């Protein structure tokens, strides 16, 4: 019996090692990593690249932008800064060329610099602008994509499962928790990594006063969830009402796009309750391209 038990243990150990090596070989844990702090909450680590499941390529430059190009403020006069959350970041489901920033580049023939992280709120995005004023002042246009949940407090880092800071080990445990069963759900993160409470209205006004956002080169985009798109009363309550709140802070004359009012957008362009499909990214890029000034060509 002892020999049989030992053989079974050895077989199980070998299977676990094989599973671990296989998961790493197929890129199951080759995804973006994050920096976390109490200033911005979390942000994709600078200067990293990889390929989730081998083919889903991703990259971030030295300024945490979702591209493998490095930002040059001296040559950015015709460029577009694209701010947002997971809708802009794209996630592991898409390769780099399928994400919203790349789609927008294809439409406008302009350099697009995506700044985004999953579950970011407007305050996280504004904090990035405060920390990198040279970026917003250099580009020719700024597009901010917001959904109804982005008008809450800034998001703070919570756990390694949603925003990993290091490559997980063992990969098999991470994969089971992520895709099969999570026996230890994320809760609130440590106080040391919690962004202090604030007010998006004050932060937005400060960004304008500092010259980081301006009426002539900024577009605010209101992006609906799928249920908001199909429920007129909910859309009014959750999203359209934000237009007036934004106007109260910014004043008249600012461009505010409501994606729900564009005839090209429909519920079939969602892959879940909020994120667009590949075709959704293409259509959304077409819609976002409309307010942009004539762009500079790609190098």
What Cα–Cα distance (Å) separates residue 284 from each residue in 69, 89, 93, 99, 132?
Answer: 23, 14, 17, 11, 26
User: Is the C-alpha dihedral spanning 19, 25, 28, 31 positive or negative?
Assistant: positive
- What is the tens place of the pLDDT at every residue in 115-135? 999 999 999 999 999 999 999
Say how many residues make up the chain: 299
Strand partners, 88: none
pLDDT of 188 reads 84
pLDDT of 183 reads 86
- What is the tens place of the pLDDT at every residue in 150-200? 999 999 999 999 999 999 999 888 888 888 888 888 888 899 999 999 999
Q: Which residues of the chain have pLDDT under 50?
A: 293-299
CATH for 73-152+198-289, options being 3.40.50.720, 3.40.50.1110, 3.40.1360.10, 3.40.1260.10: 3.40.50.1110
Question: Model-level pTM?
Answer: 0.92
* Nearest Cα residue to 114 out of 286, 251, 285, 258: 285
User: What is residue 148's three-state secondary structure?
Assistant: helix
pLDDT of 20 reads 75
Contact assessment for residue 32 and residue 58, using Cβ atoms and an 8 Å cutoff: yes
């Amino acid at each position: 019996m002892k020999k049989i038990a030992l053989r079974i243990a050895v077989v199980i150990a070998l299977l676990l090692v094989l599973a671990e090596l296989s998961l790493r070989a197929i890129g199951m844990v080759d995804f973006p990593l994050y920096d976390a702090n109490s200033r911005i909450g979390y942000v994709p680590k600078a200067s990293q690249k990889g390929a989730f499941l081998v083919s889903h390529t991703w990259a971030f430059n030295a300024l945490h932008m979702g591209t493998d190009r490095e930002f040059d403020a001296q040559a950015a006069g015709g460029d577009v800064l694209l701010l947002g959350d997971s809708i802009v970041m794209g996630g592991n489901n898409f390769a780099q060329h399928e994400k919203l920033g790349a789609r927008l580049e294809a439409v406008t023939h302009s350099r697009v610099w995506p700044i985004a992280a999953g579950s970011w709120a407007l305050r996280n995005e504004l904090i990035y602008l405060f920390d990198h004023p040279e970026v917003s002042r250099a580009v020719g246009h700024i597009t901010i994509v917001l959904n109804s949940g982005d008008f809450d407090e800034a998001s703070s880092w919570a756990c390694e499962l949603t925003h990993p800071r290091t490559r997980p080990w063992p990969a098999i445990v991470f994969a089971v928790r992520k895709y099969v069963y999570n026996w230890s759900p994320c809760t609130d993160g440590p106080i040391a990594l919690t962004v202090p409470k604030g007010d998006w209205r004050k932060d937005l006004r400060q960004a304008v006063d500092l010259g980081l956002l301006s009426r002539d080169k900024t577009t605010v985009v209101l992006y609906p969830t799928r249920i908001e798109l199909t429920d007129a009363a909910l859309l009014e309550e959750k999203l359209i009402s934000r237009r007036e709140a934004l106007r109260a802070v910014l004043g008249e004359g600012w461009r505010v796009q409501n994606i729900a009012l564009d005839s090209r957008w429909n519920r079939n362009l969602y892959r879940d309750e909020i994120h667009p499909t590949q075709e959704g990214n293409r259509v959304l890029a077409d819609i976002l391209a409309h307010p942009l000034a004539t762009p500079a060509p790609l190098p």
